[in-house]
Amino acid sequence: MESHSMMAIQAALQGQVAFCKFLSANDTGKTGGHQAGIYISKASSPILFNEPGNKGQNKEKWVKIKWQNDFETDTRFIYYGQGTRNEYRITNFGSGFPFLHTDYTGALFVFVKNTEDDYQGFILNTDEEINKFLDAFGLSPTETNKLIETTRPDPEIHEKLAIEQFIDGLSVEFPTSEEMSVAARSIHNQVYNHQELIRSNPDKQLLDWTATEFRLFRALEYVRYDKMFTNGFSSVDAFINAANQVLNRRKSRAGKSLEHHLSAIFDGNNVQYKAQAITEGNKKPDFIFPSQEAYHDLTFPTEEIVSLAAKTTCKDRWRQVINEADRLRDHNKYLCTLQRGISAKQMDEMQAEKVILVVPKPYIPSFPEDRRDRIWTIGRFVQYIKKLENR
């Protein structure tokens, strides 16, 4: 279920005006007394009234407030201007209203104006919820009791909101690896709007998508497993079984994630390829360009056929690439990896076997300096394929 803090953040971002303050004892402890209701500072009164109150007369307005995205109250805004009073309050919450008692003193009250008579209210009563909200808008606890500048949030908070919404909408414990990758790309593109990088900078796009998927997966793990590990296990075997389940799912997702995002890069550049093509026997390179049919058509020029393996790490497994396509045994074979750094000796062995590393450009400095010129970037590989296919 989506947390109240994330609901409040989303409401504040989407509303016309937003306000927050810590509830004082005066706000929560005196129900029905002379000062009943939540006090709103004069500087923040525009969230209540379009015009300030005039000293010497009271002013009021009735609105609907939806609390915690759950229930509504018909509530009054009032300006007390008569006598010695000169203050704004929110009053009349109805019988059974749960938040105006001493247990909620010190809670963070978040108030959002959607329209002239439609509002949302949230009460955040744990340190985690409070800090999550304040951090989203770059506020310290001393910067509350005022209107919120909602243009300040870092894009990361939009990403967190999108991730929570995705997880909240799931009907399965864990989606497939492909569904996770699609969701990560959708979230990243929605938040950062950098789809043009598929063509202009595929190296960065690949890394950004991969990082977003990692955060998405870890957020889902937290939701699914946090209580299990926090509450403990009945035996060591139960703990080991649960831990193995988590680790195996991580390994499986990581291995497929790179393939899925590379496919999206190739699709975005309109190149032809076949993922998991069958070459000889049961051999299946991760990618064959331009197609499986071209590979098996002996009249198709061998120099225009390319194989690409995708391995998150390849320190020990790179030799598998050598025998994945017999037709290309004497030609260059390409290996895309997210591993940072491989020894000079292994790079020399790769060169002897005609294996060319394809690595995101920011990772290249982690390889031996005198051998970096052998490494291709994602962008260079994509342009090479496009040129072969006349794209």
Residue 376 gets which letter from DSSP? B
* Identity of the highest mean pLDDT range in 54-58, 252-256, 336-340, 383-387: 383-387
CATH 3.30.2320.80 is right for the domain spanning 160-268: no
DSSP 151-204: T---HHHHHHHHHHHHHHT-SSSS--HHHHHHHHHHHHHHHH--TTHHHH-HHH
In this chain, the answer to whether the domains covering 160-268 and 274-388 adopt an identical fold is: yes
Tokens of 71: 């229930």
CATH architecture of 274-388: 3-Layer(aba) Sandwich (3.40)
Angle in degrees, CA 92, 93, 99, rounded to 5: 135
pLDDT, tens digit (0-9, with 9 covering 90-100), for 13-25: 889 999 999 998 8
Instruction: Output the pTM of the full model.
Output: 0.68
Phi then psi dihedrals of residue 235, to 5 deg: -155, 165
| Percent of the chain clearing pLDDT 70 (strictly above) | 90
Q: Using DSSP bridges, classify how beta strands 355-358 and 333-337 pair: parallel, antiparallel or unpaired.
A: parallel
Asked if 39 is an active-site residue, the reply is no
User: Residue 31: pLDDT band by 50, 70, 90 thresholds?
Assistant: very low
φ/ψ of residue 76, rounded to 5: -110, 135
The residue-averaged pLDDT of 222-247 equals 70
**3-class DSSP state of 102:** helix
Is it the case that residue 35 has pLDDT exceeding 50?
no
Q: Which CATH number fits domain 4-153: 3.40.1120.10, 3.80.10.10, 2.40.330.10, 1.10.2020.10?
A: 2.40.330.10
Q: Are 305 and 289 in contact (CB under 8 A)?
A: yes
283-339 tens-digit pLDDT: 999 999 999 999 999 999 999 999 999 998 887 789 989 989 999 999 999 999 998
Q: Which of 104, 295, 334, 363 is catalytic?
A: 295
Highest mean pLDDT: which of 92-101, 152-161, 376-385? Answer: 376-385
**Contact predicate 333/322, CB 8 Å:** yes
CB of 65 within 8 A of CB of 121?
yes
Give the whole-angstrom CA distance, residue 120 versus residue 90: 13
Collapse the DSSP code of 27 into the 3-class scheme (helix H, G, I; strand E, B; otherwise coil) and give the result: helix
pLDDT at 33 over 50: no
Spell out the domain ranges in the chain.
4-153, 160-268, 274-388
Closest-CA residue to 75 (of 83, 66, 84): 66
Cβ atoms of 83 and 67 closer than 8 Å:
no
CA angle 247, 132, 152 (to 5 degrees): 120
